[in-house]
A and B are shown apart, each in its own frame.
Chain A
């Protein structure tokens, strides 16, 4: 059969389409963004009318997906690991409401923090919510697990989490597709109280979820994605979770591993496999990407009878992503190093693009704040976070989506005046609006800079939910229209930008200064597209 060369994220997008989804809901976040983009650009998805527009944030995405499931249709919701923090309220409760149409939550974790603020492990969240987790070991499994995940979700009557990590998300391999499943018809839940989490109902539903745990474990035991291979050498057993299985196999290219191997790709961890391991192995090594989730679990199970090693024991590093070399080392294999990196090689940190509007915004901000002590600018998450690096060194915080506005407010409450927040357009609608409302209600003395490049640029220029709405949102939230200022961040307006800052610093209350100029990457992309349309209008 024809192999498709798919990135892991593309395999997931195709798996969802072929699995019969009627909608995908997401907010962009590396390394999960391209799942939704793939569906948005898929002709097959367009023909089927699959809903795929970006959501304002992960919580709204999750809840909308749950609503689609309520109506009986299959749906997927995608996010990166920190996005699940935003959606956590809905996520945890959805395990208790259960689903109607099949629902798959795909979360992409980012160990080594290639483009994230932390490397939290979503398997903890899955365990916390007490739902089944699927963790593919390669791109083919990513496709198969998502496609089949909807049926599993419907069978077990809960959302199912598919957890991947950066490496699988952004690596390409051949994937063979299976038949396309039909979409569900719309059908309302048969139990009218299912989605009503009033305490009395919630208690009943929660008991139901607890009772189902055994079924989940039994299902994982029978899963074709979990395999137990008994080894000849009894000294060692290996549990390889998700992509870590690849790194294990890389160390035994001839399939000649003498040890017992449990390939674990569906959770909860089946106790029966552990019982078997306890009989066969003197020591168990856990290979897992992220936190020591399984290692902690089996340490408690095996107590002191069997030695457990992994990230906690120091056999593997506690942080960062795994690779074949680290796994080889944990297995006592010698690694071969190439030549050293010559000393003259220097780092090449990411930087704002030449000609980017954020640069002009930071130049004016720096000049306006020059007369004050440093440390007055709270930032947020997006391209403009690069303003923390030289040559600008303008900002002093980057914590989570929306934290710029609220942290500036808190610092102003403490007496830090002026206090400035810098937030992007998309981040503002994701999580800035409510913070701004707090600031207005509290008459906080802050300046909120919305650096509006009219797209979600850091993740590749997706459409921003804020497009054309910023001033009206700010007015609606209660900011005095006289203190909502709109500027174009261009070199020629530098003096005007500095003056505007000075005027708003002098004002006691909430000011919003919008710096609006299209992202230069998005502009270049748009111009190329327009030229193409002009050259060949039929396409």
Chain B
């Protein structure tokens, strides 16, 4: 078993929290894991990515080779497209449809979504809207985590346990809200993959 994931977004959008929840679940499953992330200057409103590799045998490189990613998980639609050269021909794109517009020349959103729909396998989900319906806009990254879970090769219950573990310090109400966000994303992906 081996899952190579590109996590994409803009600095400050919470992709490292997604990575740490998946990482927590993977380590508890005694899987091998490597996760390379972006620090420093490019964090300030710039595009950020994290390479997350999970396997039941030892992993060599910290970076995923071109054309080998099983999944691009993006919390913003244009960023999902930036990493297409990494995606394997059998891979999935799972992306949030709400754009993060912090540049004056952000392309037409419909055109961006049309490009995503051209991909052979994708899940496009309005995670911001779903998170708002649940009652916390900031949980949209956990909605995205839920939407990605069918492609992780880790059982959803284990990821849920990771959520409980990571958010436990913030109290039961926060854990419950994130659980709900996770379930909503998971249900959407199962129905729309």
Min CB distance, A79 to chain B, in Å?
Answer: 14
Looking at chain A's contact residues, is the secondary structure mostly helix, strand, loop, or mixed? Answer: loop
Q: Return the chain B residue nearest A2 by Cβ.
A: B27
Q: Return the chain B residue nearest A356 by Cβ.
A: B44
Given A336-B68, A337-B67, A168-B88 contact (CB < 8 Å): no
Given A243-B62, A324-B63, A337-B85 contact (CB < 8 Å): yes
Is B41's CB under 8 angstroms from A172's CB?
A: no
Q: Return the chain B residue nearest A80 by Cβ.
A: B40
Q: Which of B23, B44, B89 contacts A383 (CB 8 A)?
A: B44
Q: Is A167 part of the contact surface with B, judged by Cβ < 8 Å? A: yes
Q: Is A256 part of the contact surface with B, judged by Cβ < 8 Å? A: no
Min CB distance, B50 to chain A, in Å?
Answer: 9
Min CB distance, A346 to chain B, in Å?
Answer: 5
Contact residues in A for B51 (Cβ distance below 8 Å): 171
Is A174's CB under 8 angstroms from B82's CB?
A: no
Contact residues in B for A115 (Cβ distance below 8 Å): 39-42
What are 29 A-B residue pairs whose CB atoms fall within 8 Å in the complex? A5-B24, A30-B40, A34-B39, A115-B41, A171-B34, A171-B37, A172-B33, A246-B62, A247-B60, A253-B60, A324-B65, A328-B65, A335-B66, A336-B65, A336-B66, A338-B66, A338-B86, A339-B84, A340-B84, A341-B84, A345-B78, A346-B105, A346-B106, A348-B10, A351-B45, A351-B102, A352-B44, A386-B44, A458-B40
Is A338's CB under 8 angstroms from B67's CB?
A: yes
For the complex, give the distance between the alpha carbons of A325 and B67 in Å.
10
Is B66's CB under 8 angstroms from A325's CB?
A: yes
Residue from the set B37, B45, B61, B107 with the largest chain A CB neighbour count within 10 Å: B61
As a 0/1 sequence over residues 94 to 106 of chain B, the CB contacts with chain A under 8 angstroms (1 = contact) are 0000000011011
Q: Which of A339, A353, A460 contacts B85 (CB 8 A)?
A: A339
Q: Is B176 part of the contact surface with A, judged by Cβ < 8 Å? A: no
Contact residues in A for B62 (Cβ distance below 8 Å): 167-168, 171, 173, 243, 246
Is A114's CB under 8 angstroms from B42's CB?
A: yes
Given A335-B66, A338-B66, A338-B87, A324-B61 contact (CB < 8 Å): yes
Q: Is B38 part of the contact surface with A, judged by Cβ < 8 Å? A: yes
Q: Is A492 part of the contact surface with B, judged by Cβ < 8 Å? A: no
Contact residues in B for A349 (Cβ distance below 8 Å): 46, 103
As a 0/1 sequence over residues 2 to 18 of chain B, the CB contacts with chain A under 8 angstroms (1 = contact) are 00000000110000000
As a 0/1 sequence over residues 114 to 144 of chain B, the CB contacts with chain A under 8 angstroms (1 = contact) are 0100010000000000000000000000000
Is A344's CB under 8 angstroms from B45's CB?
A: no
Q: Which of A248, A250, A323, A350 contacts B43 (CB 8 A)?
A: A350
Q: Is B36 part of the contact surface with A, judged by Cβ < 8 Å? A: yes
Residue from the set B41, B69, B103, B106 with the largest chain A CB neighbour count within 10 Å: B41
Is B85's CB under 8 angstroms from A5's CB?
A: no
Q: Which of A114, A353, A386 contacts B38 (CB 8 A)?
A: A114
Closest 9 CB pairs of A and B: A30-B40, A115-B40, A336-B67, A249-B60, A171-B36, A115-B41, A250-B61, A171-B62, A350-B46
Contact residues in A for B68 (Cβ distance below 8 Å): 336
Contact residues in B for A174 (Cβ distance below 8 Å): 27, 32-33
Q: Is A31 part of the contact surface with B, judged by Cβ < 8 Å? A: yes
Min CB distance, B111 to chain A, in Å?
Answer: 6
Is A250's CB under 8 angstroms from B46's CB?
A: no
Contact residues in B for A31 (Cβ distance below 8 Å): 39-40
Q: Is A469 part of the contact surface with B, judged by Cβ < 8 Å? A: no
Contact residues in B for A33 (Cβ distance below 8 Å): 39
- Seed contacts A171-B36, A335-B66, A342-B81; 16 additional CB < 8 Å A-B pairs: A5-B27, A114-B41, A115-B42, A170-B36, A171-B51, A174-B32, A246-B62, A324-B61, A325-B65, A336-B68, A338-B67, A338-B85, A341-B84, A346-B106, A348-B79, A351-B45
Q: Return the chain B residue nearest A247 by Cβ.
A: B61
Q: Is A434 part of the contact surface with B, judged by Cβ < 8 Å? A: no
Is A338's CB under 8 angstroms from B60's CB?
A: no
Contact residues in A for B34 (Cβ distance below 8 Å): 171-173
